[in-house]
Amino acid sequence: MILHRLTIRKRILIIFLMVAITGGVVQFIVAGRYLQLATLEFYQHHLETDALLVSTAFAEPLVEYLDGEDSSSISQVMGTLQQEVGHNYLIVDRNNRVMGYTANTGYEQVDRVPDTPELIQARSEHIGADIRPNNQGEATLYVAITVSYENNPLGTFVLSEPMQPAYDEVTRRYLELAGATVPVLALVIAASLWIAGTISRPIQSLRNSAMRMAHGALDTRIQVHSQDEIGELANTFNYMAGQIETLMHTQRSFVSNAAHELRTPLMTLKLRAEALSEEALPADEQETYLREIRQEVDHMAELVSSLLMLARIDEGRHQPNGTVTDTVATLHDIMRHWRIEAETKGLRFTAQIDPDLPDLPMSPNDLRVVLDNLLSNAIKYTTRGEVRLSVSHRKDAFTLEVSDTGVGFLPEQGTHLFDRFYRSEQVRGQYAGNGLGLSIVQSILNHYGGRIEAHSAGIGQGAVFTLRLTPAP
Ligand SMILES: Nc1ncnc2c1ncn2[C@@H]1O[C@H](COP(=O)(O)OP(=O)(O)O)[C@@H](O)[C@H]1O
Ligand SMILES: [Mg+2]
C-alpha cells in the first residue's frame, strides 16, 4: 500500500481530505438534487398559478368568439395580459384549432396545433404541463388549462415561458452550495495539519533524541508535554535512557576498576622479576621475592575468577537451580576448613546449626561460594575473639547468620559493602582483598530471591551478616 510509504503527516492529511471530499461530494449531489427539484417545482407551480388566474379572463371572449364574432377581443386580452403579467399565450378550441396567440410564439402559420402532452393532460385533469424545446430550440415550460363557461369546456388556454431563468437559478444555488464547502474543506485541512503536527512533532523529537543517544549523548532526555500515549512513550524513553546511562556508567567504572586492580599486582610482579634477575642476590631475599610473586599471582587469579563469576551472573549464564539435600552435613563440610583457618589465627569458631534442617533451595556450589565469602571475610577482618555461624529454619524460611568480633564498619558504610570493588577505609591497605566477594554473594542471592543485610555497631564492634532464603513459590 502506497500510504505506508508516506509520512504520518501526509497520511493523516490525505485520509482527512479523502473523507472530507467524499462526504462533501455526496452531500453536494444529494442536497443539489433536492435544491434543483425544489427550484424547478417552484417555478412550475408559480406559472401554473399565473395560468389559473389569467385563464378565467378568457372565458367570455371565447364564448363571444365561438358565437361567431371575430377574434379581436381575444387578441386584445392577450396583449394586455402579456404587458401586465408577462408570459406567452395561446388559446385553442376543443379541436386544437388556434383561436389566438401572442406575437412571436411560432403559431403565425399554424391553423391547428398537434396534441402536445400538456393539452392531453389538461383535457383529463383540467391542468397540464410539459417542458420541451420551443420552435427556436429553447427549453420552454408549457402550462395548459381548460377554459369552461357554465361548466362547458370551450377550449384550452396555454401559457408558456422559457425555462432559462429557472435553470440560471439552479446554477446559482449549486454555486452557493459549492461555496459553502470551501470553508469546511479549509477547516478540515487545518484540523488535519494540527493533528498530524501533534503526532509527528513529538515522534520527530523522539527520533532525534534516540539518534543523539546512539551517538553517545547518554544524558539526552525528552521534554514531556502531553499525558497521552505519546507522553507515555516519551516517559518510557526517558526511563530507558536513565537505565542505559546508569548501566553504561556502572560498566565503565567496572572496567576501569578491574584494570586498576590488575595493574597493581602486575607492577609488583614486574619489580620482583627485575630484582630476581639481579646477580648476587642473597638466597633468603630470593626466597622472599618468589613468595611475593606467588602471592600476587594468587591474588590475580582470585580477581580474575571473581570477575569471570560476575560476568557469568551478569550475562544470565548462572542458573539458579539445585537443592542442598543433606543440609546439615554440607554445612559441616564447608565449616571444617574455616574452623581450622580461624583457629590457626587464634580465633574461636562457634557454630549453631539446627539439627533437623530441611532441604535448602540453592545449589550446593552456590551455597559454598556464599558461605566461603562470608566466613573468609569474618576471619580476615577479625584479629581477636570469635567468628560464629548459625543456621536456622522457621516458617519455611532459612536464616543464615555470620558474625564476628572484628573491625566492623560505620552504619553509613553498610549499604555500600555490596557494591562492586567497594572496600572500607578501615580495611584498605591493611587487609588483602578486591571488594568483589560480597557483590558476588548478593548477585547469587538475587537469583534465588534471597536477601542479605549487614549490621555493625561501629568501628571495632564486629559485624553481623544476615541472609534470608525462602523456597521459590
Ligand atoms: N566481616 C566484616 N567485617 C567488617 N567489614 C567487612 C566484613 N566483611 C566485609 N566487610 C567490608 O566489606 C568490603 C567488601 O567485602 P568483600 O566484597 O568481601 O571484599 P574484600 O573482602 O575483598 O574486601 C570489605 O572490603 C570490608 O570493608
Ligand atoms: Mg571478601
Which residue has its alpha carbon closest to ligand 1 atom 7? 377
Q: Which atom of ligand 1 is nearest to the CA of 433?
A: 22
Print pLDDT tens along the chain (473 aa): 677 788 888 888 888 888 888 888 898 889 889 988 998 899 889 888 888 888 787 777 777 777 777 677 777 777 888 888 788 888 888 888 887 888 777 777 778 888 889 889 988 888 999 999 988 888 999 999 988 877 788 888 888 889 898 889 989 988 988 888 888 888 888 988 898 888 888 888 888 999 998 998 888 888 888 888 888 988 999 999 999 999 888 888 888 988 988 898 899 999 999 988 888 888 888 899 999 999 999 989 999 999 999 888 888 888 888 899 999 999 999 999 999 999 999 999 999 999 999 999 999 999 999 999 999 999 999 999 999 999 999 998 999 999 999 999 999 998 899 999 999 999 998 998 999 999 999 999 999 999 999 999 999 999 999 999 988 77
Side chain identity at 368, as an amino acid letter? Answer: R
Side chain identity at 138, as an amino acid letter? Answer: E
Q: Which atom of ligand 1 is nearest to the CA of 439?
A: 17
Q: How many CB atoms lie within 10 A of CB 417?
A: 23
**pLDDT for residue 453:** 95
> pTM above the 0.95 mark?
no
Task: Name the residue of 377, 452, 466 whose CB sits within 8 Å of the most ligand 1 atoms, as the mutation to test its pocket.
Answer: 377
Domain 241-314 listed as CATH 1.10.287.130 = yes
Superfamily the domain 327-469 falls into = Histidine kinase-like ATPase, C-terminal domain (3.30.565.10)
Closest residue by Cα to residue 466 from 406, 412, 398? 398
Q: Which ligand is nearest to the CA of 424?
A: 1
Ligand 2 mean position, distance from CA 377 (Å)? 5
Q: Residues spanned by CATH 3.30.450.20 within the chain?
A: 11-168
Residue with cell 432559462: 164
Q: Which atom of ligand 1 is nearest to the CA of 440?
A: 17
Closest residue by Cα to residue 378 from 354, 412, 408? 408
Give residues (CB < 6 A) around ligand 1: 373, 377-378, 381, 404, 406-409, 417, 422-424, 427, 433-439, 463
CATH architecture of 11-168: 2-Layer Sandwich (3.30)
Nearest-angstrom CA–CA distance, 303 and 409: 23
**pLDDT for residue 1:** 65
Helix 229-277 to helix 164-214 angle, to the nearest 10 degrees?
20
Nearest-angstrom CA–CA distance, 146 and 152: 10
Closest residue by Cα to residue 338 from 294, 364, 373? 373
Q: Residues spanned by CATH 1.10.287.130 within the chain?
A: 241-314
Closest residue by Cα to residue 440 from 260, 280, 289, 314? 314
Ligand 2 mean position, distance from CA 239 (Å)? 34
Task: Name the residue of 310, 347, 349, 438 whose CB sits within 8 Å of the most ligand 1 atoms, as the mutation to test its pocket.
Answer: 438
DSSP code, position 223 = P
Residue with cell 567497594: 422
Which residue has its alpha carbon closest to ligand 1 atom 18? 437
Ligand 1 mean position, distance from CA 341 (Å)? 17
